[in-house]
Amino acid sequence: MQIKGVLIVDLYLSIYLYTYLPTYLPTYLPTYLPVYLSIHLLIEVLRFFANGIPPFKDTSLLIQEQQFDGVPVKIYQPKKPAVTKRKALLFFHGGAGTYGNVAQRLSTLFRRRTDQQQNASIRSTNAGVLLAFCAMTVARKRPNADKYHTDASCVTVCGDSCGANFATKICQLLVDRTDVPKIQAQILIYPGLQGMDFYLPSYQQNKDIPLLWRKLVVYWTCRFLNKSTSVVNDVLEGRHVPEDIRTKYQKWVCADLIPEEFKVRGYKPQDPALRTFKPKVYEEMKQVLEVTFSPLFAENSVISKLPQACILTCEFDVLRDDGLLYKRRLEENGVPVTWFHAKKSIHGLAILFENQDVHATIALILENLDPY
């Protein structure tokens, strides 16, 4: 309890430094200093929470740590012999590619819920790996499902935050594969799905709400892609987006597509003069405008082939509207969607705060998945 107390103080201290301290700094000190310190402090706090204190081991489970093509994986299976082959859940954890690991609490909480309600094998993988490795892990290991006594036709791909981005793109990459069974379902927990528009209503309304405020999204994107963080402000204003790309994707990523009920807490369209295009910023950050980073940009021919989906969004989360826009795209293309909206929650609720309602909802969805 004492450690948690200290960390909570540190968390609020980092938020205070970021928000208020610049106004009190002497003019001869760089104004970015408190922001720099607060971001690094917050990263360490979040890294501790995400890595966390491992839950007590369940003696009824067989837990294995393995490597799939070099990717660290933790596998949870009931020790009790299965009468039939088990459903499988492949979970990619979040953490912006900068923190978190396969021992993260979310996977074990899912395991506790699902193992009680169904025969399930859950695999948690490292979100810091390349997307290609993620796709290889899914495609190559599913034909060897007999080793884990799982049904290759009943595999669900799941992820939270950037892990949900990975899960989304993996589903898209595999839709036309004929050498492996199709993925049965995708579960996307507060996903981040596009790198073009940071003026959506959720980004404006929740720009200063922890644990993921607006500036941190781009900051961590730069860190993950090994890009200079000097472009953060330009990217936030949209100066990395050529007009032809903006025009092409506005049909899928635009505040006009967000239901009015999600604008009542405030929304103001961006002044076009603020997003003057900067070619150098585009060259530095053009990767965020590719479909591999922004799966919201996938063509309808891909979206229409995707498996049934469960999407969880949080009201007080900058990524909320990414989830809403993807929900809309899936539904418009005839993909069944189960949507769960946490009206009083912030980003990270499923991991950091062990939200039992969320876990129960997803476990129920897994249990009742329609045969594919």
Calpha distance 39→41 (Å, rounded)? 5
Which residue in 14, 124, 161, 294 is the catalytic one? 161
Q: Output phi, psi for 67, to 5 deg.
A: -125, 125
- Digit-coded pLDDT (tens) for 70-106: 777 778 788 888 788 877 888 888 876 666 655 554 4
Q: What is the residue-wise DSSP string for 198-233?
A: S-SHHHHHTTT-TTS-HHHHHHHHHHHHT--GGGHH
- Digit-coded pLDDT (tens) for 160-202: 899 899 999 989 988 998 877 788 899 999 999 999 999 999 9
Which residue in 160, 197, 317, 322 is the catalytic one? 317
58-372 classified as CATH 3.40.50.1820: yes
Q: Output phi, psi for 142, to 5 deg.
A: -65, -35
Question: Which residues, listed in sequence order, are joined to residue 98 by a DSSP beta bridge?
Answer: none
Residue 103's pLDDT is what? 55
Mean pLDDT computed over every residue of the chain: 77
- Environment class of residue 175 by beta-carbon count within 10 Å: exposed (0-12), middle (13-18) or buried (19+)? middle
Model pTM score: 0.79
Task: Band the pLDDT of 46: cuts 50, 70, 90.
Answer: low
Which residue in 93, 240, 347, 359 is the catalytic one? 347
Q: What angle do CA 338, 315, 128 make, to 5 degrees?
A: 75
User: 343 is written with which tokens?
Assistant: 């009206």
Residue 265's pLDDT is what? 96
Calpha distance 50→239 (Å, rounded)? 33
Residue 42's pLDDT is what? 58
Calpha distance 335→310 (Å, rounded)? 11
Which residues does 147 contact at the CB level (< 8 Å), separation at least 6?
none
* Residues 162/95, Cβ–Cβ less than 8 Å: yes
Edge to edge, what strands does the sheet with 150-160 contain? 61-68, 71-78, 120-125, 86-92, 150-160, 185-189, 308-316, 337-346
Residue 341 a catalytic site member? no
Which of 153, 154, 156 is closest to 181 using CA atoms?
Answer: 153
Residue 202 a catalytic site member? no
Cis before residue 211, ω within 30 degrees of 0?
yes
DSSP type of residue 320: H
Give alpha helix (H) positions in the chain.
2-19, 33-51, 105-117, 131-141, 162-173, 201-205, 214-225, 232-236, 243-249, 279-285, 300-303, 320-332, 349-352, 356-367
Task: Band the pLDDT of 362: cuts 50, 70, 90.
Answer: low
Q: How many CB atoms lie within 10 A of CB 50?
A: 22
pLDDT for residue 352 is more than 90 = no
Residue 197 a catalytic site member? no
Calpha distance 328→186 (Å, rounded)? 15
